[in-house]
A = this chain, B = another copy of it.
């Protein structure tokens, strides 16, 4: 039921609000100091069933498994380029939709999990809903998250809060036209990360 699909911002973030450090790019995907934001994904001992490249700490496994269980991913062109399009297959294993002004030459289209969307966030959301079924749609880039937040199209915010202050970098929360009320629906204290889940209520 497409109408039931949850759209969920899903990102690892520093305590001061950055999802990547400064100077991020294809050769420095998480920016200076930003790799600490992803350390928790491999800080445990037991590989994740969904993807054995990852082994989060025990108390993070349920959250990590859920993050992988999304039905589609919405992402931005800058994130896509920095990640080199994940080689055409997003780590979450779901179809992904890249918001962009012009289609990238690689890693989208037939034979990949990627689709370029050049006609805006509502079109991308419609396409994501079409493939996601009743599984959540993950929003995994800051700029795209800001666009969906400003349009009132986000249902949930899932943050993996990392105990570091990066000082600068790519800020998740910016360009919000008005305050947004939230309800905290889950807190999971784990090793090197605190998982916070919020429902958007206004």
Give A residues with C-beta under 8 Å from B: 15-17, 21, 32-33, 36, 149, 157, 159, 161, 163-168, 173, 176-184, 187, 189, 192, 194, 196, 198
Give bound CA distance, A173 to B182, whole Å: 21
Question: Which residue of chain B has its CB nearest to the CB of A176?
Answer: B167
The answer to whether B179 touches A189, judged by C-beta atoms less than 8 angstroms apart, is no
Give bound CA distance, A192 to B198, whole Å: 11
A–B pairs, 27, beta carbons within 8 Å = A15-B159, A15-B173, A16-B17, A16-B173, A16-B176, A17-B17, A17-B173, A32-B179, A33-B179, A149-B165, A163-B183, A163-B184, A163-B198, A164-B182, A165-B176, A165-B180, A165-B182, A167-B177, A167-B179, A168-B176, A184-B189, A184-B192, A184-B194, A187-B187, A187-B189, A187-B194, A194-B196
